[in-house]
Amino acid sequence: MPPPLTFLHTADWQIGKPYARMEDEQKRVLARQERLSVILRIGTVAQEKQAQFILVAGDVFDSTTPDKATVSAACAAIGALKIPVYVIPGNHDHGGPGSLWEQSFFLRECAALSPNLQVLLKPEPVELEQAVLLPCPLLRRHDASDTTAWLRSLDMSAFGDKPRLVIAHGSVQDFGPAADEEEDSASSNHLDLLRLPADQLDYIALGDWHGLKDVSPPVSSTGKLTAWYAGAPEPDRFPRGAGNAPGHVIAVTLQRGSVAILEPVSTARLGWHEMEFHLTEDAAVTRLDKELGEKFAARTGQDFLRLTLHGSLGIAALAELDQCLETWRSRLLRLRLHSRVNIAPTEEEISALVSRSDAPLAARVADRLLQETQSPDAETADSARQALRILHSALHSAS
């Protein structure tokens, strides 16, 4: 029996992701750069775990048409890994006639910058010294067929005691990644792992789901088959709930016919967070700023935050909240705000607005706006609240 084999399983690098919802171009550049920088961190993990090669289960690139600079940068980063890297096309960078993988510019850059990279474009065994790779490449973005189907009838007797490693990209039976605001569409490429010969295979390296996930089929009469999604090594979307852990690669150690030993290793640098905060009184703005500072002050330019605010504030406190949010928009890579904060002028603010003897017209307007903030029509009430803020600011500046 050969010694145990160790390799890295990763997927969904999506180099060249545009981050179109980020308004700041400089921040988009920073986020895109991390999709390249994580490859170097993967290389560090490979050295630490003494991995013999790296499997990338699809979506190296975010599209089938990355610009040439992106292709060159990706090839250079892969070349710096110094160990073999085996890749299949996924739904974002699918193969097929005329695909990126067959274009002359990519082939030239690959040969010059990443001779350690091998793109597996055919569903056929690739026998290495240490293992047999069984690639299931996607040759179109949406494939109605099961790309693993060819394995059901494959004669594997000639492979001897070499571990058999399946590489596939898609959603397993009854498990489909759903689109969210960071993804334009979900994959429709379904993989039926239950029909694979479990006793003839040792590990299924999957891509498409961006979180770390064990989807091993139940033990059957033919044995136990280990199947995992490695997830994206650098997260690219807001959290999807408990049990979804993006930002890893998996170090896999196994022998033919043995249970694989898996060690997920964190590779993420950017953080994607959700927060919900209730503003119950004006002083809560200070507490919000303090909480954000404790979490993010030492990480300027490294985090995405989806922030939901509830409650009500006085007019001056709302202005303070605006300043607070302005600060954190600049420090975070992206602040996605859901604000359900209503305006509730304090007694002092109401008095200052409606009792201005030096500005009787403004006082009458303020009184009318205060009445309209209670309107059952949401649009009218919101417009009145905004107008009150403007009037308060103007009167305050004038005084």
Strand ranges (E), 213-302: 213-214, 227-229, 248-254, 261-266, 271-279
Burial of 305 (0-12, 13-18, 19+ CB in 10 A): buried
Q: How many CA atoms lie within 13 A of 121 on its CB side?
A: 14
The more confidently predicted of residues 182 and 3 is: 3
Averaged confidence pLDDT in the chain: 88
Overall average pLDDT of the 201-226 stretch: 86
Residues 314/349, Cβ–Cβ less than 8 Å: yes
pLDDT score, position 387 = 80
Interaxial angle between packed helices 104-113 and 68-79, expressed in degrees from 0 to 180 and rounded to the nearest 10: 30
Does the pLDDT of residue 73 top 70, yes or no? yes
Residue 328 dihedral angles phi and psi, to the nearest 5° = -75, -25
> According to the model, what pLDDT value does residue 186 have?
45
Give the rounded percent of residues in the chain with a pLDDT score beyond 90: 66
Predicted confidence at residue 378, as pLDDT, reads 76
Indicate whether 176 pLDDT > 60. no
How far apart CA 6 and CA 249 sit, in angstroms, is: 13
pLDDT > 70 fraction of the chain, expressed in percent and rounded: 89
Chain segment 125-135, per-residue pLDDT in tens: 999 999 999 99
Q: How far apart are CA 338 and CA 46, in angstroms?
A: 41
Q: Which domains does the chain have, with CATH numbers?
A: 5-266 (3.60.21.10), 271-398 (no CATH)
pLDDT of residue 230: 96
pLDDT tens-place string over residues 319-374: 899 999 999 999 999 999 999 888 777 777 676 666 666 667 777 777 787 777 77
